[in-house]
Structure 1
Amino acid sequence: MQANPFRPFRRWLRPYRRQVILGLLLLFAAQCIQTVLPLLLKQAIDDASGTTAAGSGVLTIQLQWLRDISDPIEVYAGIIAGLAVIGWAVNFGMRWYFTSLSRYVEGDIRSAYVEHLVRLPLRFFHERRVGDLMSRAINDVEAIQRFLHHAFRMTLTGLLTFFLSLTLMCLIDWKLALLSLAPMPVMVLATNAVAGRVRDGYRLVQEQFATMSSRIQENLSGMRVVKANALESRQINGFEELNDQYVERNRKLVVVRSLFYPFASFLNGTSMVVVLWLGGLRVIDESLSLGAFVAFNAYLIRMSRPLMMLGRMVDEFQRSIASLARIEAVIDHPPEDRGAGADRCITGEIELRDVSFAFPGDDTPVLDRISLRIPAGDTLAIVGRVGSGKSTLARLLPRLLEPTTGELLIDGTP
């Protein structure tokens, strides 16, 4: 993954800096509340058992007044329950902010895409399929929204959870904490190896989906031609071939994902087994308190969750990056140049100077070095056989098409 996974989205998140900051503050508050809970559990266990082993005094919350209560466990339970309720409210606010943010960005991207699309020259649409452009507006934008709605929030939560939990684990027992990090180098290498394949795989899947959408759009818009020429079987076979290719590309992507997810779970499981074994031995020989051991394992579980979800976050991130690249390839395409005189009144003089035109991908010119001048107010009839270029010449005048070479002037202005 990139060093800053959110950098590609800065362009779209910048207008919502306030919402992002508020969401981050709520996220930080929620994680702090979740981080305190294992400490309360640790202290409750150590107070109840009267443990004085190593680790029992580490990070002890100063609630000495609880010792004067006949049954402090009930008070601990009440405090934990109260923090859980507060955490629920903070989590609700955080989720609401990030969900709203994802919908705002989705709307901005789709609006920017469509607004720019209608300003592109007609030549652009000769080089693109309608189904592909529709797929970008719907499927690709939804992939970006899904990332911002879920994986974006989970990535931020995971990073904060990981570092907070690791810090407290080191304060409880730094040796066990270092031992729990043993799988990390392997996890990082595996993630880097998988990320590129997932991104390329999703790009191919999206392109194939666009091809299928184009075929469906062509069949529906040309249904009269299909029926008139009895082409139903041919069109069905062609679509089935495209569909099989789509399934195959998805299957290859599933293979990569299916290998990575269990591998990440295996590494995390191995780390937890080793910590449980060695930590349990230390509790037995009273070199570590039971409360500290329980809290350490609670933090280990919290720290392992982001690692368990790393595969999914990489998956959704690479999908969104591939989709964002497809969207921005259109948005960054130069719009149509309407010229300096697009808004001025014209008298109607038309002049073509050595104008030639060929459609994209075809080297045979439809018009070849046409030169003529039509004074304002004159009428000129253009005749010729079908396909001789009459309609093409007419489309050049309002700039629905651009000449391949030569110059077209209205009242002496290009």
Structure 2
Amino acid sequence: MSNQRRPQRGGPAGFGPGGGNMMMMGQKPKNFKATLKRLIGYLRPRSKALTAVFFAAILSTVFSIVGPKIMGTAITELFEGAYDKMKGVQGGGIDFHRIAQILFILAGLYVISSIFNFIQQYIMSSVAQKTAYDLREDVNQKLEKLPLRYFDSHSNGDILSRMTNDIDTISSTLQQSLTQFITSIVTIVGIVIMMLSISPLLTLISIVSLPLSIFAIRPILKRSQKYFADQQRTLGQLNGHIEEMFTGHQVVKAFGHEKKAGDEFDDVNDELYQAGSKAQFISGIIMPIMTFIGNISYVLISVVGGILVTQRAISIGDIQAFITYTRQFTQPITQTANIANIIQSTVAAAERVFELLDEKEEEKENASQHIGEKSGTVTFEHVDFGYENDLLIEDMNIAVQQGQTVAIVGPTGAGKTTLINLLMRFYELNGGSIKIDGIDTRELSRSELRQNFGMVLQDTWLFNGTIKENIAYGKKDATEEEIILAAEMAHADHFIRTLPEGYDTILNEEASNISQGQKQLITIARAILADPSIMILDEATSSVDTRTEVLIQQAMNHLMAGRTSFVIAHRLSTIRDSDLILVMDQGTVIEQGTHEELLAQEGFYFDLYNSQFSKKAAG
């Protein structure tokens, strides 16, 4: 297949559902638990690495948690030594050697804690990136299997947003928040144990703040979930709008659409601002609430702890350690709450990715047949087709013999391109069958089926690469001699050699560094090189000048010789010599025959032909 081009958003020419972002407005995750469980499924292949991360996080946290207790011991040693010296106790004084030993142990613990922290971050970064890699692979493979109708009903920007922004959100959460979540849980448990070892009474006062914190932030988390879903949705819409406007910026400027495009951008951008600001504001007030509740607990512990110190019920070093633990205790709780909030955004992003992965794929191939000696006979037998529930093509019957040229004509929206899409099996039939060389196309693999076709469309499609690579796209193992010969037959060799790099000239993404006519010449060369048994031409010479058109028409006549050809014609003068002309209107072939036969009928084709000429056609 030489020049397949995906239809632009809004449905194929002729019919089709309107374009637009099909995401539900204001949608939040439909099934939070199921989506989270499915996301966790992507981590299972790396369970060993996650286990290593888990133990590294535990060890890092444990060594860090013990620190304040040891620091408290050093402070007690310092305080008691200074107190004994002040009291004049014999042999009293500060034991700096003992304090140095304690501080040395403390430094060692923090170094070991840092090493384990480095290990967990290193392993987790690999796990996160590999998981994102798997998701991108799955999405990419899914996009290759989706039918054309999916791309007709979703904007390019929304699809790109799912594959980039949403997967990046998942990757960032795994890399940053998962290890933080593990660390926070271990820290909470460890600190509670250390606090109980110092004073059960003070621990009780500190823990009372925990249910109070949960009660305070729970309604906030519920509200933030909706806004984070809105944020991801509108981000996809914004990407879609930007992609469309900047890809077609010349058309936007040519038709003075700048203001409207700017207004549309402002509307979507404002919606994203509203959703993003609400999501960030609601998630942002979690920290102040947690800090406020933590400060109340901190004040109570300081007062009660001071009383216990005066009563000699607890050492001053222990109360200092306990106050440190109290500060550390609120931090992991706050982090856990923030992570829970981040998970809302991540699940919303994951659901959008999984929605794409769950889209209905093209019907599975039943490649039970193979085309042997290619001849190019095509038959439509009682074909029914509709994009939705209503049939647009009913009981269509066409018989095309090998080597015939079939012209398809009709007004805009008649279904000409739809007929080609059915022939190429871009859409599945509702009923009937299409056969090539007597074999139902549904019994062939799509790859084998499409290898029999060459397409030259009115709208050219070229990719970022050299001219040589673009021509060779029609044949994988093409030699340089074959590429040059195809270009010569398409009358493209001359202008290619005038370029600075010749056949190695690199075309940019929009191929805007060559003219529209030159693009068409390259796509024709691509079709010639592919050497298919069936050609599909959609007004292939419409973008070139009159002189070049004559040369191309000669090349096309050479290309079409001995091949079955389907020509979508807009200028009826170009298809007068066709073996068969199909006249379509509203999805139905209403007339068929040769040019002379159709004129003799004085029906739809007769009126259509005369409308293009100032005087009545004669015979």
The residue aligned with 1:245 is 271
- Stretch deviating more after TM superposition (124-133 or 179-188): 179-188
What is the number of residues matched between the two proteins?
Answer: 392
How far, CA to CA, are the matches of 1:211 and 1:4 in structure 2? Answer: 25
The residue aligned with 2:189 is 163
Structure 1 residues 14-413: aligned runs within 5 Å = 14-50=44-80, 71-341=97-367, 344-345=370-371, 348-358=377-387, 367-374=392-399, 377=402, 379=404, 380-403=406-429, 405-410=430-435, 411-412=439-440
Q: Which amino acid aligns with 1:23?
A: V
Preserved CA contact (<8 Å) 1:141 1:323: yes
How far, CA to CA, are the matches of 2:340 and 2:35 in structure 1? Answer: 10
Q: 1:8 to 1:295 in 2, by over 3 A?
A: farther
1:118 match: secondary structure: helix
How far, CA to CA, are the matches of 1:391 and 1:4 in structure 2? Answer: 41
Using the aligned pairs only, state the percent identity: 23
How far, CA to CA, are the matches of 1:101 and 1:288 in structure 2? Answer: 46
Describe the superposition over 1:17-69 as per-residue Cα deviations: whole angstroms up to 9, x where unpaired: 12111111111111121122223223333444459xxxxxxxxxxxxxxxxx8
Q: Which amino acid aligns with 2:44?
A: R
The residue aligned with 2:43 is 13
Larger radius of gyration, structure 1 or 2? 2
Unpaired runs of 5+ residues, structure 1, are 52-68
Describe the superposition over 1:328-372 as per-residue Cα deviations: whole angstroms up to 9, x where unpaired: 1111223212420277326655333241223x6xx775x331321
The residue aligned with 1:59 is none
TM-score scaled by length of structure 2 = 0.59
Describe the superposition over 1:124-149 as per-residue Cα deviations: whole angstroms up to 9, x where unpaired: 11121111011111111111111111
1:370 match: secondary structure: strand
More RCO (CA 8 Å, sep 6+): 1
Give, in angstroms, the shift of residue 11 of structure 1. 1.6
Q: Which amino acid aligns with 2:384?
A: V
How far, CA to CA, are the matches of 2:362 and 2:369 in structure 1? Answer: 14
1:382 match: secondary structure: strand
Preserved CA contact (<8 Å) 1:268 1:307: no
Q: Which amino acid aligns with 2:366?
A: A
1:236 match: secondary structure: helix
The residue aligned with 2:470 is none
Preserved CA contact (<8 Å) 1:46 1:291: yes
Q: 1:46 to 1:229 in 2, by over 3 A?
A: closer
- Stretch deviating more after TM superposition (248-257 or 93-102): 248-257
How far, CA to CA, are the matches of 2:369 and 2:222 in structure 1? Answer: 48
TM-score scaled by length of structure 1 = 0.87
How far, CA to CA, are the matches of 1:321 and 1:395 in structure 2? Answer: 37
Preserved CA contact (<8 Å) 1:199 1:321: no
Preserved CA contact (<8 Å) 2:53 2:179: no
- Stretch deviating more after TM superposition (316-325 or 181-190): 181-190
2:397 match: secondary structure: strand
- Stretch deviating more after TM superposition (253-262 or 371-380): 371-380
Give, in angstroms, the shift of residue 383 of structure 1. 2.7
1:408 match: secondary structure: strand
Q: Which amino acid aligns with 2:65?
A: T
Preserved CA contact (<8 Å) 1:123 1:402: no
The residue aligned with 1:61 is none
Describe the superposition over 1:179-223 as per-residue Cα deviations: whole angstroms up to 9, x where unpaired: 111122222233332222222111111111111111111112222
Give, in angstroms, the shift of residue 6 of structure 1. 6.3
Runs of 4+ in structure 1 deviating by more than 6 angstroms, as ranges, are 2-6
Preserved CA contact (<8 Å) 1:349 1:412: no
Structure with the higher fraction of residues in helix conformation:
1
Unpaired runs of 5+ residues, structure 2, are 1-31, 82-94, 443-619
2:221 match: secondary structure: helix
Preserved CA contact (<8 Å) 2:221 2:283: no
Structure with the higher fraction of residues in strand conformation:
2
Q: Which amino acid aligns with 1:332?
A: D
How far, CA to CA, are the matches of 2:295 and 2:35 in structure 1? Answer: 27
- Stretch deviating more after TM superposition (39-48 or 237-246): 39-48
Q: Which amino acid aligns with 1:43?
A: T
1:286 match: secondary structure: coil
1:407 match: secondary structure: strand
- Stretch deviating more after TM superposition (100-109 or 251-260): 251-260
